[in-house]
Amino acid sequence: MAEPVPISRRPDPDALERVASALGARFGNRFSANSSVREQHGHTLTWTPNQPPDCVVWPHSTAEVAEIARLCAANRVPVIPFGTGTSLEGHVNAPQGGVCIDVSMMKRIVAVHAEDLDCVIEPGVTRKELNEHLRDQGLFFPIDPGADASLGGMASTRASGTNAVRYGTMKDNVLSLTAVTASGEIVRTASRAKKSAAGYDLTRLFVGAEGTLGVITELTLRLHGIPEAIAGGICPFPSVRAACDATILTIQSGLPVARIELLDDVQVKAVNAYSKLDLPERPMLLVEFHGTEAGVKEQSGRFGDIAAEFGGGPFTWATKPEDRTRLWQARHDAYWAALALAPGKRGFATDICVPISRLADCVEETCRDVAETGLLAPIVGHVGDGNFHLNVLCDDQNPDELARTKAFLERLVRRGLSMEGTCTGEHGIGQSKMKYMAEEHSTATLDMMRAIKQALDPLGIMNPGKMVSV
Amino acid sequence: MAEPVPISRRPDPDALERVASALGARFGNRFSANSSVREQHGHTLTWTPNQPPDCVVWPHSTAEVAEIARLCAANRVPVIPFGTGTSLEGHVNAPQGGVCIDVSMMKRIVAVHAEDLDCVIEPGVTRKELNEHLRDQGLFFPIDPGADASLGGMASTRASGTNAVRYGTMKDNVLSLTAVTASGEIVRTASRAKKSAAGYDLTRLFVGAEGTLGVITELTLRLHGIPEAIAGGICPFPSVRAACDATILTIQSGLPVARIELLDDVQVKAVNAYSKLDLPERPMLLVEFHGTEAGVKEQSGRFGDIAAEFGGGPFTWATKPEDRTRLWQARHDAYWAALALAPGKRGFATDICVPISRLADCVEETCRDVAETGLLAPIVGHVGDGNFHLNVLCDDQNPDELARTKAFLERLVRRGLSMEGTCTGEHGIGQSKMKYMAEEHSTATLDMMRAIKQALDPLGIMNPGKMVSV
């Protein structure tokens, strides 16, 4: 749990007052210091306590973001970038107060270069908005975290989702970006060329930096053609291990599966109730294949053979697009479905990622741990990447349950790390996982990250109290 | 052309003497200050003048590299990492002298995790050595610059090659790495998980940093299954534009082509002579498809249709593996074949990369420029990525020809930049393209790169005089 910040870390009250009054005068009704607005912007989907910023401003352009950043830098006031507030690890909290830059009014789709399979957008555009815009041109953007998050936030947290096994993560799908630095400079990281060897990879440095190095104000994204044919469906398995083993063999066989998602039986029950489906309440893989008609038929057949080897089946096809959409919307709503299992409890959502050879062991040990600890914690996973999620449903007013939950979450991370994995595959560090940075990385590695942070944000005002900052 | 370095940038002679004598005592016959050895290590494949290091040392391990780096840091002596010396842009030159760390004795394949499709190797392993080792396990590593380069050097220069259109570049195929920093610390950038959101992407920061931030001493690489079926061959076109237009439509159609390489008619002539082939001496695409038997058949058929639309054909299949190998070896030898066209001339090899929608324009304008300037400059290209290469054959003792060559190369880069491209898709900056960094990137972007360099190498001793260092 994030500790209260020492009062000394708060900005100077006079400086803050100067900044707030200058922003109020400059941005008018695109500025607010209203307490409910502030609380909304310290909002987080999970258990992290709310730490609101001192004020919120809604810029329209990169130039306006730079203006705000310069003002904050001159007064040593923290800056917290905000997209849709769907972070799970406290990324948008303001432990030291400061100015929240809400990019939700930066929603222009600047250009779609269909012929180059890329587009240029502002950071407030959400993934669904972008795909709505692209559909007529036969293009799509594949990265799909559960929430309909802003693409700026998705880049900042190196987001991923159900298609990552085939299309990669935000790391692989941002060609270039524009960011405003801690001192209010405007930096464009790369050209629109598909590849370049001209300098340090600043694009990848900002992707996943969680707003601690600057505010992303424009993105050039790689797009993909909507596949000619899509086939998918559900395949129940006798156990979570069997489903994981089938996943491992699918990946090792080089089958270019587009999506391969695990739901354990608890999650399937939750999804059935929340999304009014009637899936068999057993561990299950949701799979999807993209390609030509002949290609997806061949891939599906091979997957069916693999599943059968591990006792999986019968495979049920979702042949109609609307059935497929309903199924994947249900998958994306897994978080809410889990919460609905235990009204009044909070969701402690977390994710880890391990090399796929360790996936079955890791998930199976985790299931056993959930049972032994007496917790309710549905599991979903982008298992093709070795990445899985738990949503521990916890009454955080019950000290014993809270203590058991926290101890379980620590064991989970350590289990992942002991299997050569990472403490987070896609949710990020934010505030909640800072303590694991020193377990995952060596002192020298963390020192290097801190040296970069210090060099690019010497005043420590860019989204402070997250990732590596102290 | 690289300017002579001011004498003040040379290390203190006493410090250098201390370092050399300590290294000699410590490494014995794995140390040399012999002048021909030194010259070999300032060696470069192209026109950059030779600037040898003061001495060369061959470490066996990460710990030994760290020991050397600490000694150099303590004495403010430059460190130049060296793989196979096949850089085209002067990356291994030592303009300020110093210690060359030759990793060619670090050739262990530490682990192959076939089940996770990854391996852990030392940086001196070359791409062919790795693939030789992997073949029995049905796996391969796809990145293939022309030379049989070391994988450490390939990571450092963000290398690419003929398979990048399908499998990505080194940026996409390094999962994690170990590096020795400028102060001699050992940093591991990431775990073996396929994805992670735990901290800054130090992996991608080192990939393409050209040894200016540290020495890569171990790499965890992504591997791929050798495709069940491979089909490929050659397809001549009536013009370079027609070949480029066919490439553009192939990519835009989402055809998952594994390789699509352009050779202009001059290059085909060169290849025929050098590699004893009898290809039709017209602009030509070499293509390859990877997949299942049915899949590659379908893909090849679609490509044939696209080629025919632009007057391409007849398509000639290389059905036998040995014919395919011969064809691709000839492609990889394009550089040497070009040189053999004009004995006694030097090759001024260069590359640029543009968004694919501009490829046909860019190549066509470049061909016209070559003709108008009266140069001999065969073209090859990884055109699926919008990336192409010229090897200008120039008598550098002829001042007029040299001046025309240099002016042409400048126009080429500016043509690429004016089309939203980059001054190098894969060869890197090294010494030769430093002057273009300020044309490609804004002052703020370059300042950010310099701030990172300064933070991680405050003494400026890591491969100085390259990329962004002054």
Mean pLDDT of chain B: 94
Residue at token pair 């590849």: A195
Does the interface ipTM go beyond 0.85?
yes
pLDDT tens-digit readout, B260-278: 999 999 999 999 999 999 9
At B276, which CATH number? 3.40.462.10
Of the candidates A8, A84, A11, the residue with the CA atom closest to the CA atom of residue A461 = A11
Q: How many domains does chain A have?
A: 3
Within this chain, do residues A309 and A425 fall inside the same structural domain, yes or no? yes
CATH number at residue A41: 3.30.43.10
Residue A398 and residue A335 share a domain = yes
Decide if A420 and B385 are in contact by the 8 Å CB cutoff: no
Do residues B259 and B286 both lie within one domain? yes
In this structure, are B28 and B172 located in the same domain?
no
Q: Give the span between the Cα atoms of B147 and A140, in whole angstroms.
A: 37
Look at residue B435 and tell me if it is in a domain.
no
Does B441 map to a domain?
no
Collect all residues of chain B within an 8 Å Cβ-Cβ radius of residue A202.
445, 448-449
Percent helix, strand, coil in chain A, to 5, is: 45, 20, 35
Closest-CA residue to B193 (of A357, A468, A412, A205): A357
Q: Are residues A190 and A262 in the same domain?
A: no
Residue at which a domain ends, from B225, B245, B280: B225
Give the one of B193, B209, B356 whose C-beta lies nearest to A200's C-beta. Answer: B209
User: Which pLDDT belongs to residue A152?
Assistant: 98
Torsion from C-alpha of A151, A199, B409, B91, nearest 10 degrees: -150
- How buried is A443 (Cβ within 10 angstroms: 0-12 exposed, 13-18 middle, 19+ buried)? exposed
* Subunit contact A187:B467, Cβ cutoff 8 A: no
- pLDDT for B232-268, tens place per residue? 999 999 999 999 999 999 998 889 999 999 999 999 9
Largest CA distance in chain A: 69
Q: Is A461 within the bounds of a domain?
A: no
Q: What is the mean pLDDT of residues B184-212?
A: 98
Interface test with B, best of A180, A191, A255, A453 (most B CBs within 10 A): A191
At B11-28, the pLDDT tens digits run 999 999 999 999 999 999
Are A175 and B171 spatial neighbours (Cβ–Cβ below 8 Å)? no
**Are B298 and A298 an interchain contact pair (Cβ–Cβ within 8 Å)?**
no
Instruction: Name which of B187, B201, B444 is nearest A187 (Cβ-Cβ).
Output: B444
Cβ contacts from A onto B, under 8 A? 286
Contacts of B142 in chain A (CB under 8 A): none
Select from B116, B421, B454 the Cβ nearest to the Cβ of A355: B116
Q: Give tens-digit pLDDT for A133-191.
A: 999 999 999 999 989 999 999 999 999 999 999 999 999 999 999 999 999 999 999 99
The one-letter code for the residue type at A74 is A
Kindly tell me if the per-residue pLDDT of B102 is higher than 90: yes
Range of the domain at B81: 7-105
Q: Do residues A323 and A379 both lie within one domain?
A: yes
Average pLDDT, integer, range B148-177:
97
Sort out which chain B residues have CB atoms less than 8 A from A189's CB and list them. 445
Of A195, A423, A424, the CB nearest to B385: A195
Residues, chain B, total? 470
pLDDT at A254: 86
Please answer yes or no on whether B449 and A252 come within 8 Å at the CB atom. Answer: no
pLDDT value of residue B8: 57
CB within 8 Å: B424 and A196: yes
Residue B451 lies inside a defined structural domain of this protein: no
Which of B105, B123, B157 is the last residue in one of the domains?
Answer: B105
Going B309 to B314 to B316 to B317, the CA torsion angle's sign is: positive
Choose the weakest-confidence range: A87-91, A283-287, B46-50, B162-166.
B46-50
In a domain? residue B36? yes
Please tell me whether residues A52 and A142 are part of one structural domain: no
* Residues of A in Cβ contact (< 8 Å) with B159: 197
B334 lies in some domain: yes
* Closest C-alpha among A115, A111, A146 to residue A130: A111
Mark whether A178 and A286 lie in a shared domain: no
CA pair distance B31, B11, nearest whole angstrom: 19
Do A67 and A155 sit in the same domain of this protein?
no
Contacts of B451 in chain A (CB under 8 A): 455-456
- Assess whether A256 and A384 both reside in one domain: yes
Are B370 and B423 in the same domain?
A: yes
A306 part of a folded domain: yes
Residue of A194, A205, A446 lying closest to B386 (CB–CB): A194
Average pLDDT of the segment spanning B328-344: 92
CATH label of the domain that carries residue A124:
3.30.465.10
Q: Give the nearest partner residue to B445 out of A189, A427, A449, using CB atoms.
A: A189
Confidence (pLDDT) at A74: 98
Residue B51: both structure tokens together: 């600037």
Domain-located, residue B316: yes
- Chain centroid, CA A74 distance in Å: 32
pLDDT of residue A470: 58
Q: What is the pLDDT of residue B470?
A: 57
For residue A5, the model assigns a pLDDT of: 46
Which residue from B minimizes the CA distance to A178? Answer: B445
* Residue-wise DSSP of B210-229: TTSSEEEEEEEEE-EEPPSE
Single-letter residue type at A26: R
Q: pLDDT grade, residue B9 (50/70/90)? A: confident
- The set of residues, in sequence order, having a beta carbon less than 8 Å from that of B122 and lying 6+ positions away, is B103, B106, B107, B108, B109, B110, B152, B217, B218, B219
B40 and B127 share one domain: no
Calculate how close chain A gets to B277, using CA atoms only, in Å.
31
Buried-exposed string A67-105: b where 16+ CB fall within 10 A, e elsewhere = bbbbbbbebebbbbbbbbbbbbbbbbbbbbbbbbbbbbe
User: Which chain B residues are Cβ-neighbours of A428 within 8 angstroms?
Assistant: 197-198
Contacts of A361 in chain B (CB under 8 A): none
Per-residue pLDDT of chain A in tens (470 residues, 90 and over written 9) = 334 444 457 899 999 999 999 999 999 999 999 999 999 999 777 778 899 999 999 999 999 999 999 999 999 999 999 999 999 999 999 999 999 999 999 999 999 999 999 999 999 999 999 999 999 999 999 999 989 999 999 999 999 999 999 999 999 999 999 999 999 999 999 999 999 999 999 999 999 999 999 999 999 999 999 999 999 999 999 999 999 999 999 998 889 999 999 999 999 999 999 999 999 999 999 999 999 999 999 999 999 999 999 999 988 888 788 889 889 999 999 999 999 999 999 999 999 999 999 999 999 999 999 999 999 999 999 999 999 999 999 999 999 999 999 999 999 999 999 999 999 999 999 999 999 999 999 999 999 999 999 999 999 999 999 999 75
Q: What b-and-e string marks burial along B133-146, b requiring 16 or more CB atoms within 10 Å of the CB?
A: bbeeeebbbbbbbb
Kindly determine whether residue A445 and residue B386, on different chains, have CB atoms separated by under 8 Å. no
Q: Do the Cβ atoms of B424 and A196 come closer than 8 Å?
A: yes
Q: Give B-chain residues touching A143 at CB under 8 angstroms.
A: none
Give the residue from A201, A209, A226, A216 showing the smallest Cα distance to A137: A226
Given B88, B105, B122, which residue is the final one in a domain?
B105
